[in-house]
Structure 1
Amino acid sequence: MLYSQMVERNDGGEIEAQQPIPVFLHGFLGSSLDWNNCISHLNLPHAICIDLPCHGLSKYCEVQNFEEACQQVQLTVLSKLKKEKRAPNTPLVFVAYSLGARIAMFGMAKQAFPDLNIQGAILEGGNFGLIQEQENVLRWEDDKHWSKRFATEAIEDVLYDWYLQGVFSSLDDDQREELVELRSDNLGSQLGCMLRATSLAKQPYLLDDLKQLSVPLLYVCGEKDQKFRILAEKSGLPYQLVKNAGHNVHHEQPQQFSSIVKAFVDTL
């Protein structure tokens, strides 16, 4: 089972006691701590934050594929609800970034969270999947390359190169330095394991299934994140662009992102 924590605010009074509880899923290289700044701006009574497999305090919990990752998330949420003496059908809303968003989208689109009462999801910078087989072949080769580097090289060296990828082009040198330092406490071999297990090449194209869901979805991306901005605009899903942000909106603009989360949850 994965590490998780229930964040509770005692100053919330009777704020929407029946509102869905947000479940925060971080991105690749991250941990549940990534959401701290965002949650500090939220006036919601409860939230669940999870360390995904091979990350944070779940670094030795390995999975082989998306199905197993979803099983671990579901098991962890149900265990946390039980520990907090809450009903297993407690309403939930996913707030998920990048890898976390892909796991959330897979689980919702493929009914891999059958025992969770999911009322909606905020999807930040998540890729819906690749359509062309050649794209999948190239992505698999690329992910195997990064996986080998994470497993065999000094993690600081790999991270410097990782954050030079085009998707992170909005970062300046100081921001890159900050992220390299922040992410260097990860275990490279475990990151490689998760990268192989949840490679975009192994993820089915999920957008069509997501559009068939009856629960509301909101896609969020930074205005500087050209690749995912195009995905959002072409998706047909409701989306929101955040000014002065690149790929990692909740890190770069935590207050704006928390306002989006609060507004979304208030509508449910």
Structure 2
Amino acid sequence: MPACSDMLAATLQKHEDASAPTLVFLHGLLGSQKDWQPVVDQLSCHYSCLTLDLPGHGESTDVDGVDFDTTCQLILQSINLHINGPIWLIGYSLGARLAMYLSSFHARLLPTAAFKVEALVVESGHTGLSPQDRPARWQHDDKWAKRFEQEPMGDVLQVWYEQPVFSSLNHEQKQSLVAVRGGNLGSKVASMLRATSLSKQPLLGEPLCESGIPVHFICGESDSKFSALASHSGFDFQIVPNAGHNIHAEQPKLFSQLVKQLIEAI
């Protein structure tokens, strides 16, 4: 479905079992709904799967995120257009933070939703910074946003994937990501990075608890930072072996099996 000013590009792959929840996938910064295809290939034989292009990404480049509320309202409206029934939200990195935010505040953002968030899977997601840590994070994100705006995308990505969070990737994997992500528009990436900066995200641990929605954190064995965050979150968490920050790309079969196990355990 093509994106317009108030609609995100989305792809729904339906499964015949209407009683099963629909899985909704939210990608990370610089990604697109296509990132989830190896996982969708595994899970679509059991569940309907909906993938979305976030604002400024993929086929949603004409859509602006603006801020957390606007971005999450766009996501909720897009889900509501396609689904009437229970869903499992599955988000990676930025997509995980958005999934946590809209799960916490969906009643305010879209009070008339036809679907119900049954559970949330957080892949390498951050629940939020303390107020004193937010100014430094804003400076960090705004610096990257300026680079995305001003420098060739390929040059910025070469440096982007040298950040510690991507240390589990080898040289070939990094170069593959640089090639795949090179088609992004720098101004759109910068806009989304500023709109949904971790510095602007509230602490989501307590609101998630109050939402009553089951939350499952998934982290890669080699991603020590996010594994530590998950272990201290108070929520259920799983560690995936031989994986770093982007588990669904590095270990799509294991990731898919884990999601299926979580659903079947409910």
**TM-score under structure 1 normalisation?**
0.92
Check conservation: 2:128, 2:203, Cα contact below 8 A.
yes
**Matching residue's letter, 1:109:** S
Pairing 1:1-268 to 2, within 5 Å after superposition:
1-9=7-15, 14=17, 17-42=18-43, 43-81=45-83, 87=84, 90-111=85-106, 112-114=109-111, 115=113, 116-133=115-132, 135-268=133-266
Q: Match for residue 84 of structure 1?
A: none
Residue by residue over 1:168-195, the C-alpha shift from the partner in whole angstroms, topping out at 9 and shown as x without a partner, is 1111111110110110011111000000
1:41 partner SS:
helix
**TM-score under structure 2 normalisation?**
0.92
How far 1:120 moved relative to its partner?
0.5
How far 1:260 moved relative to its partner?
1.1
**Matching residue's letter, 1:2:** L
4+ aligned runs moved over 6 Å, structure 1: none
Residue by residue over 1:86-138, the C-alpha shift from the partner in whole angstroms, topping out at 9 and shown as x without a partner, is x3xx11110110101101101112233532411001110011110142x1101
2:102 partner SS:
helix
1:122 partner SS:
strand
Q: Match for residue 4 of structure 2?
A: none
Q: Percent identity?
A: 40
Check conservation: 2:77, 2:110, Cα contact below 8 A.
no
The gaps in structure 2 that reach 5 residues or longer are: 1-6
Q: 1:66 to 1:255 in 2, by over 3 A?
A: same
2:232 partner SS:
helix
How far 1:215 moved relative to its partner?
2.1
**Is 165-174 or 219-228 further displaced after alignment?**
165-174
1:34 partner SS:
helix
Q: Match for residue 3 of structure 2?
A: none
**Is 147-156 or 72-81 further displaced after alignment?**
72-81
2:211 partner SS:
coil
1:28 partner SS:
coil
**Matching residue's letter, 2:180:** L
Alignment partners' CA distance in 2, 1:221 and 1:113 = 29
**Matching residue's letter, 1:138:** A
Check conservation: 2:216, 2:236, Cα contact below 8 A.
yes
Residue by residue over 1:132-151, the C-alpha shift from the partner in whole angstroms, topping out at 9 and shown as x without a partner, is 42x11011011111111101
1:212 partner SS:
helix
Alignment partners' CA distance in 1, 2:23 and 2:129 = 28
Check conservation: 2:103, 2:213, Cα contact below 8 A.
no
**Matching residue's letter, 1:41:** Q
2:90 partner SS:
strand
2:88 partner SS:
strand
Q: RMSD value over aligned CA atoms? A: 1.3
1:110 partner SS:
helix
Alignment partners' CA distance in 1, 2:170 and 2:61 = 29
Alignment partners' CA distance in 2, 1:143 and 1:51 = 21
